[in-house]
Amino acid sequence: MVSYALYLLDNENLLDIWDLKTHPNLTIRNGVIFFHLNRKLCLHKIYEFRTAVGMDGRVDSADISETNNGDQVACKWDALDAVHIEAA
């Protein structure tokens, strides 16, 4: 049986997990993490958190959904170069 240290399920407006800049020394020694249905929480934030707390390689791929976390916000964006064309 899997023991979860952090289980985040169906948090409709969750945008972030933990401020790693001001609180960088968080470690999860026992248990694993679970993230599903956090529609506004981008995957890159989950992966950054997973690495920061020492969970790389300890989390099963089924415990972090790549399809229903962050699927209702723009998690990736690129700047577009606009070209101005004057009418003749």
Rounded Cα gap, residues 36 and 21, in angstroms: 24
Task: For residue 80, give the DSSP letter.
Answer: -
Rounded Cα gap, residues 61 and 69, in angstroms: 13
Non-local (6+) Cβ contacts of 79 within 8 A are: none
Strand partners, 36: 9
Task: For residue 64, give the DSSP letter.
Answer: B
In CATH, the number for domain 1-88 is 3.80.20.20
Query: pLDDT digit string (tens) for 9-66?
Result: 999 999 999 998 999 899 999 999 999 999 999 999 999 999 999 999 889 999 999 9
Q: Give me the residue spans of the domains in the chain.
A: 1-88
Instruction: Name the band, by pLDDT with cuts 50, 70 and 90, for residue 79.
Output: confident
